Amino acid sequence: MQLEGLPTVFVTERTGKETRGQLVSLTESVLVVNVSGAEQTFRPADVVRIERRGDSLKNGAIIGAAFGLITGALLNECAGGGSGANGEGCLGARIGLALGGAAIWAAIGAGIDALIPGRTRIWPARGK
């Protein structure tokens, strides 16, 4: 069996014991995980949770975008009275800085999130 490319999963049993291995098979009646070259079989009734390594970068991007949007809107050259005779161009500058800040900080937030290893629950589905 070729294990390369199979996802690493963490199986938590009802007893609290956690087993880490590579997912071989997951059906309604059985879960098979390769643990150090040996297959280990679990019954769904004995398993509390199955998670895979890695999580979405979406939450980091959202937090970064919100930070960039707020700071970009609040901190710009128009905050001190405007750039034109009557503050003309301030709205455009404020919008541009807010959107630019959101994009830059979303990328920074996603990058920071990528450095933090996480887990994503694959069974049971969220809300169950």
CATH topology of domain 8-53: SH3 type barrels. (2.30.30)
**pLDDT given for residue 124 in this prediction:** 80
Highest mean pLDDT among 50-59, 73-82, 104-113: 104-113
d(CA 2, CA 101): 45
Per-position b or e across 10-44, b if 16+ CB within 10 A of its CB: bbeeeeeeebebbbbeeeeeebebbeeeeeeebee
How do residues 61-89 score in pLDDT, each as one tens digit?
A: 999 999 998 888 777 666 555 555 555 66
Domain boundaries, given as residue ranges, for the chain: 8-53, 58-115
**pLDDT given for residue 32 in this prediction:** 93
How do residues 6-53 score in pLDDT, each as one tens digit?
A: 788 999 999 999 999 999 988 888 999 999 989 999 998 899 999 988
Is 128 a residue whose pLDDT tops 50? Answer: no
Contact 121, 56 (CB under 8 A): no
